[in-house]
Structure 1
Amino acid sequence: MRYIFVADDFTGASDTLATLRRAGLNARLYLTVPSCDEVADLDAFGIATAARSMDQQAIRSEMQRIGHQLQVHAPDVVHLKVCSTFDSSVHTGNIAIAMDALSTQLKPATTLIVGGQPSLGRYCLFGNLFAKGADGQVYRIDRHPVMHRHPVTPMQEADLRRHFSDMGLTNVHGLDRVALHTDVALPNAPVLCDALDASDLTRIGERFRHAPAPQLWVGASSVAEALYPNHQTIEMPSSLPGPLLVFAGSRSSVTAAQVAASHSMTIVTVSARQLASQPQELYAQITAPLQDGKATLAVLDDDTTHGLTALEVAQYAAALIAKLVRSGNIGTLLIAGGDTSSLAIHHLQPQSIDYIGPLEAGVPVCAANFANGHRLPVIMKGGQMGSVALFDKVCELTCQNDE
């Protein structure tokens, strides 16, 4: 197995899965490390974790366990898939600890960090990260209108070398865009590569594809884009099964705009307080329109005085979503919010996840395959992803079955 990716949340995992499939690889996503026999016919596979929301001890334990189990696969490339905005912190979703834990088990000869994903409007120049906002403007990540005040992992440092140093990885060497396109010698240390456009990713792939293995790559789906630059077109299905459940667990301004623009669904407002104390009542409220075949949008209200942490809210929401799916009333599931998505999928425990097709940039449609033979289309999007009309677009795909 040449390429294995370990993702810190499900939304990122599904995006990398989509990238590999578009590159022509036979790839699949799992929640736990599969046996060699299970993946004998695959070119690549991924493991989706909830590491993005874990504390230091949990993330180290998770990555050590996964790294140990991957040894039998003898991968040439292990890709630690992190968010394209690199938002993590010392105490939550610490990327440096994840790297150290994987490295302890897999002993990489080469460690590379790709600092941007231009296809999603994420750019790294001279080691500093920039990201496009919902208004189309590009911001330094520590001045981004959303990411600098993320409720769990606010980005307060744009220089990714300093960001990694704050998390405990102090020896990152910067390979800026000028040096990237030359043959400058590199130290025996983790290398952070600039990525401003597709030509930079092509150069990264050319320069490091044949570096000593095993290789540990860290970054967004741009890692897969660098290693497998030739993509083919995969068409979206003309329809998806209904009814549709959209659960908007993200409070980002992008998701808020998508909720506000949705005019085709029954809306159920959800409070964090209800999630914690009245889950059965919420279950009944959301199930009622679904049983009538109506597309339903469940959205968290803007009450932030509930006394729960963001992670606790995501955990309660994930448990409710899993129960709703098991009711058998959902044809297609869309979840907005990285933590909520990852936790919900881990509640549901599908055997594997396949890629169906592209919905929008960074928002693929996948299928969760369950032990009983059930196959559920799932769309998991990060808070910053998707067009304003995304929810209604999915609703149209599912409602075609009723015409």
Structure 2
Amino acid sequence: MKIGVIADDFTGASDIALTLAEGGMSVAQFIGVPDRPADATLEAGVVALKSRTARVGQAVHDSLAACDWLLAQGAEQIVFKVCSTFDSTAEGNIGPVLEALAAKLGAQHVITCPAFPENGRSVYQGHLFVSDRLLNESGMQNHPLTPMTDPDLRRVLGEQTSWPVSHINAQTVTHGPDAVRAALPDGPAMVIVDAIHDADLLTIGQAAKGEVLLCGGSGIAIGLPANFGAQAATPHWESVTGRAVVISGSCSIATRGQVDQYRKIAPSKEISAEDAVSGAVTASTLADWVQAQPGSPLVFSSADPKVVQEAQLRFGRDTAARAIETLFSDLAACLVQRGFARFVIAGGETSGSVVSGLKATELTIGPRIAPGVPVVRIGGTDVGLALKSGNFGDRDFFETSLKVMETSS
């Protein structure tokens, strides 16, 4: 193994796995820290954790365990993959995890860049933009679990770490990898690096050759495969057919638009926090409804953020979220038992719950559905998944995903 990735959620893991696969590396995504060695021919391994919203101590513990396993597989470079919107709580988990990984790996500085220009995420003068809006004006300020109210990544990360946080600006990046390397500090520092275009990420990737630890969104991996001699390729995919369902737990602006679009062409059922917490809707009764519908129905809890906040105040943030995640996890398990083979899942937390409910341990990466989203197969089965971060994909994403799963490449 050449590159080892520790991803703080499941959709982000698929995202960066796709980037590495398209860069020509053989890649597998693991659900949690494996209890066995990886295939010796594997060039990149991505360990998917559910640590973004975990308690700091748990996130650090799980990330170090993942790092230990990746190093045991021969990984020469570790990437801590975070969301391209850098979302986290004030106390972490990005800073504490990076400090712990840096200490283990002996890293003196950590290049950090969540930019993903193809999906509208760019970093300029240390500030994160979503398309033409600063992060705190993009809708992320209303995220129910990790609201982002400050676009200055230096301040955001500075509040989470005891390390100094420095910055390499866009002008330096345009001068090439040697200029970026020359601008890296000699002492310990988290280094926010600007990136506006994919070419900037290629430059950062070249500058990162030989670095033991990096941090960023999937974009930071664009330039890494070439450092190990890989060449661009399209991942192979054998079609998955059979009944399908769409499950959405994200309340992002993009996902709500996708839900509205898909409801025009498919049966749909909305699940409220009260339904899940009270037990008024169970996985079994919900599976009965799904199975009775024609086509590929939609089950969703993608409510407006104000509705979500009201539910959190009424039931408690963790209680409401856990109830819906558990319901969707159990629903997916029921549907697999009833022969369903294709699942489109929207939302990082929802994706993590569903994959756990399906007891998947390894995912095979297929071709892209949209920037940052591949189709994946549960290892050794004929079950296909599309795991989508809340803000990714166009309005037709759900329908497109189902079609891609059915098409061999």
TM-score band, normalised by shorter chain? 0.7 to 0.9
Partner of residue 133, structure 2? 139
Shift of 1:151: 1.1
Deviation at 1:329, TM superposition (A): 3.0
Query: 1: distance between equivalents of 2:157 and 2:258?
Result: 33
Matches within 5 A, 1:119-138: 119-132=118-131, 138=132
Asked whether the equivalents of residues 290 and 329 of structure 1 are also in contact (C-alpha less than 8 Å), the reply is no
Distance (Å, rounded) in 1 between the aligned partners of 2:172 and 2:38? 42
Match of 2:398 among 379, 391, 398: 391
Question: Within 5 Å, which residues of 2 pair with 1:311-322?
Answer: 311-322=321-332
In the alignment, what sits opposite 1:135?
Answer: none
Distance 1:103 1:321, change over 3 A: farther
2:354 corresponds in structure 1 to: 344
Whole-Å separation in 1 of the counterparts to 2:103 and 2:241: 44
Does residue 227 of the first structure (1) align with residue 224 of the second (2)? yes
Partner residue in 2 for 1:198: 198
Change over 3 Å in CA distance of 1:80–1:51 after alignment to 2: same
Structure 1 gaps, min length 5: 133-137
* Cα distance, 1:277 vs structure 2: 2.6
CA distance 1:319–1:222, change in 2 (3 Å): same
Gaps of 5+ in 2: none
What letter is aligned with 1:186? Answer: L
Q: Which moved more, 1:187-196 or 1:175-184?
A: 175-184
Structure 2 residue aligned with 1:162? 155
User: Alpha-carbon deviation of 1:301?
Assistant: 6.1
Contact in 1 for aligned 2:45/2:70 (Cα 8 Å): no
Equivalent pair of 1:276/1:316 in contact (CA under 8 Å): no
Relative to structure 2, which stretch is displaced further, 222-231 or 120-129?
222-231
- Give 1:2-401 correspondences, 5 Å limit: 2-34=2-34, 37-91=37-91, 94-132=93-131, 138-144=132-138, 146-182=139-175, 183=179, 184-187=182-185, 188=187, 189-211=189-211, 215-228=212-225, 231-234=232-235, 240-262=240-262, 263-278=264-279, 281-290=282-291, 294-300=295-301, 302=303, 303-304=307-308, 305-306=310-311, 307-309=315-317, 311-369=321-379, 373-396=380-403
User: CA 1:20 to 1:295, structure 2 compared with 1: closer, same or farther past 3 Å?
Assistant: same
Work out whether residues 266 and 298 of structure 2, in 8 Å CA contact, stay in contact via their aligned partners in 1.
yes
Q: Do the aligned residues in 2 keep the contact of 1:322 with 1:344 (CA within 8 Å)?
A: yes
Name the SS for the 1:241 alignment partner: coil
CA–CA distance in structure 2, aligned partners of residues 316 and 128 of structure 1: 36
How many angstroms apart in 1 are the aligned matches of 2:234 and 2:69?
34
C-alpha separation in 2, matches of 1:245 and 1:322: 9
TM-score normalised over the length of structure 1: 0.88
**Residues 267 and 293 of structure 2 are in contact (CA less than 8 Å); yes or no, is this contact kept in structure 1?**
no
- CA distance change for structure 1 residues 235 and 361 in 2, over 3 Å: closer, same or farther? farther
Please report how far the alpha carbon of residue 15 of structure 1 lies from its aligned counterpart in structure 2 after TM superposition.
0.9
Query: What is the DSSP-based 3-state SS (H/G/I as helix, E as strand, rest coil) of the residue aligned with 1:190?
Result: strand
Q: Distance in 2 between matches of 1:345 and 1:80?
A: 21
How big is each residue's C-alpha offset from its partner over 1:24-57, in whole Å with a ceiling of 9 and x where there is no partner? 1111011233467433110111100001121212
Deviation at 1:205?
2.0
Letter in 2 for 1:141: L
Greater mean deviation of Cα atoms: 122-131 or 346-355: 346-355
Identical counterparts, % of pairs: 26
Give the distance between the partners of 1:353 and 1:86, measured in 2 at CA.
24
- Judging changes above 3 Å, is the alpha-carbon distance between structure 1 residues 179 and 301 closer, same or farther for their aligned structure 2 residues? closer
Normalising by structure 2, report the TM-score: 0.86
In structure 2, what is the Cα distance between the partners aligned to 1:301 and 1:224?
30
Alpha-carbon distance change, 311 to 126 in structure 1, aligned in 2, over 3 angstroms: same
- Aligned residue-pair number: 387
C-alpha root-mean-square deviation of aligned residues, in Å? 2.5
How far 1:293 moved relative to its partner?
Answer: 6.0
Contact 2:135 2:151 in 1 (8 A): yes
The answer on whether the counterparts of 1:286 and 1:298 sit within 8 Å (CA) in structure 2 is no
Q: Is the 8 A contact 2:123 2:196 kept in 1?
A: yes
Distance in 1 between the 2:69 and 2:368 partners? 31
Structure 1 counterpart of 2:268, one-letter code: I
Q: Which amino acid aligns with 2:217?
A: A
Question: Cα distance, 1:318 vs. partner?
Answer: 4.1
State the secondary structure of the residue aligned to 1:329.
coil
> Aligned equivalents of 2:114 and 2:371: distance in 1?
18
What is the CA distance between 1:334 and its match in structure 2? Answer: 0.8
